[in-house]
Amino acid sequence: MKRILIAVITVILLSVAAIAGDKKYAQGTFPDKMHDFGIIKEEKGPVSTTFKIVNTGNKPLIIVDVSVSCGCTSHEYTKKPIAPGKSGEIKVTYNPAGRPGAFKKDIKVRTNGRERRTTLFIEGTTIPAKEK
């Protein structure tokens, strides 16, 4: 009976060690998490920037979802899995129409990576269009 118990404990410990030893994971790393548009003119229309996301892990990275804090901001992002060492993009567009003054908007990114949630920011100041 004692041998069976020792064998069971050994199998359990080896299984736990094997699971803990699995170091494969995806990891999304952003070289920049903030973009400042500076001063923009309302009459020039929407402005865009692209955030780069690099998979610094060793499993494919998937951007699960991207959400923005306001209807004035839209986004597009890489839909295919990003291989280890490769990069994807999140393009963010801000529409300044009817929004004079300073702005700061956040973009929430959700991935299957080790760090599952990341917040990106865009900011700037909109100069209102001249009235005719």
Domain layout of the chain by residue ranges: 24-127
- For residue 132, pLDDT over 70 is answered with no
- For residue 40, pLDDT over 60 is answered with yes
Residue bearing the bigger pLDDT, 108 or 115: 108
Q: Which two tokens stand for residue 127?
A: 């100069």
- For residue 33, pLDDT over 80 is answered with yes
Task: Give the residue-averaged pLDDT of 6-18.
Answer: 59
pTM of the model: 0.80
Query: How would residue 129 be classed by pLDDT, with cut points 50, 70 and 90?
Result: confident
Q: What is the residue whose two structure tokens read 């004079």?
A: 100
Burial label, 22 (beta-carbon count in 10 A; 0-12, 13-18, 19+): exposed
116 neighbors 61 (Cβ within 8 angstroms): no
> Which percentage of the chain shows pLDDT scores above 90?
76
Q: What is the pLDDT of residues 84-108, one digit of tens each?
A: 999 999 999 999 999 999 999 999 9
* pLDDT at residue 69, rounded to an integer: 85
Residues 6+ apart with CB under 8 A from 92: 35, 48, 49, 50, 51, 68, 73, 74, 75, 107, 120, 122
Domain 24-127 sits in which CATH superfamily? Immunoglobulins (2.60.40.10)
Task: Give the residue-averaged pLDDT of 15-34.
Answer: 77
- For residue 111, pLDDT over 80 is answered with yes
